[in-house]
Amino acid sequence: MSVRELVVLGSSSAVPTRHRNHNGYLLRWDGQGVLFDPGEGTQRQMIMAGLAANDITWMCLTHFHGDHCLGVPGLVQRIARDGVAHPVHAVFPASGARYWERLRHATPHRESDVIVETPVAGERATLATGDPFTLTARLLSHPVEAYGYRLEEPDGLTMLPARLAELGVRGPLVRGLQEDGRVTTPDGRAVTLEECSVRRPGQKVAFVMDTRLCDGVYELAEGVDLLVIESTFLDEEAALAADYGHLTAGQAGEVAKRAGVGRLVLTHISERYRPSDEPRFVEQAARVFDGEITLVHDLDRIPLPPRRAPH
């Protein structure tokens, strides 16, 4: 199950349109499925995308505005109905715990005990570490308390065959070196893994939703392979964006540039824009950022960029 992709379930902002459902994003990461911000209708969008409740292992809410969480009741009920047996970690701002309670227990149903509630508070929180990823939350700046999320795969090591041969590490010794980090060659030389390998950077993804520009945005985005970021408005509406605590396409491009991201994914598009306006989002981001830029559509599947070269 070595699939790593972002499945876009919805991409509107506060008001859905004929073309865009309310938010919803499933990041498939090998056997894990991190569902970000399930808005109303996410349950059915998952069916449209060929996904099931069983594919969810994490549910991360950035904040409690309706377009980011009104899909929770339906999903919680599906998780129970479908008998999901693995833990589903539900992460949300602790300040909105009373809203979480209402969503989780919105209507009578046979409740599941697999949901593990993990409220986050403070400026930063680490939710998981190590394998298969480290998941962190970072406070952002929006009219209600909002967090962005970042996943990081641990860096690995790639062995260099030429170097192994040069040092006399052959056959079963290679495996020993990999497992123990050091071996002794037949001619008595102690060899460490470090001296015959290079660092293989782990993949990194950031999910930045509903915020004005702030330090947290840059911290989350720093060096990620894939940055999924709200771009509610075009640059012409920068004043509105600031008032409502949102980003423009150009600001998203600016973040991608300064943070050195691999691929920039724009979403959370205001209903004021027509499909014919959409190319302008990419144009405005591309004035600043010269990497790959995608304005998403519902049911898009966006693969993680290939792992960066070892160094």
Residues in the annotated binding site for Zn(2+) = 63, 65, 67-68, 142, 210, 268
**Binding of a second copy at residue 16 (CB under 8 A)?**
yes
Q: Which residue has the tokens 């509610």?
A: 232
Q: Which residue has the tokens 């499909």?
A: 275
Q: Which stretch binds a second copy (CB under 8 A): 24-32, 39-47, 153-161, 194-202?
A: 39-47
**Binding of a second copy at residue 93 (CB under 8 A)?**
no
Strands in the chain per DSSP E: 4-10, 24-29, 32-36, 58-60, 88-93, 115-120, 124-128, 134-139, 147-152, 156-159, 182-184, 190-192, 197-200, 204-208, 226-230, 263-267, 292-295, 301-303
The mark string for 284-303 relative to a second copy (x by CB under 8 A, - otherwise) is --------------------
90-95-98-102 Cα dihedral, nearest 10 degrees:
-50
**Binding of a second copy at residue 110 (CB under 8 A)?**
no
**Binding of a second copy at residue 70 (CB under 8 A)?**
yes
**Binding of a second copy at residue 17 (CB under 8 A)?**
yes
Among 128, 144, 174, 238, binds a second copy (CB under 8 A): 144
**Binding of a second copy at residue 78 (CB under 8 A)?**
yes
- Pairing of β 58-60 and β 88-93: parallel
| Cα 279 from Cα 199, distance rounded (Å) | 38
Among 4, 28, 65, 150, binds a second copy (CB under 8 A): 65
**Binding of a second copy at residue 267 (CB under 8 A)?**
no
**Binding of a second copy at residue 44 (CB under 8 A)?**
yes
Residues serving a catalytic function are 67
| Cα 97 from Cα 64, distance rounded (Å) | 9
Instruction: Please state the closest distance from residue 77 (CB atom) to a second copy, in A.
Output: 5
Cβ contacts of 44 within 8 Å, gap of 6 or more: none
- Using CB under 8 A, list all residues that contact a second copy: 14-18, 21-22, 40-41, 43-44, 47-48, 64-66, 69-71, 73-74, 77-78, 81, 96, 99, 102-103, 105-109, 144
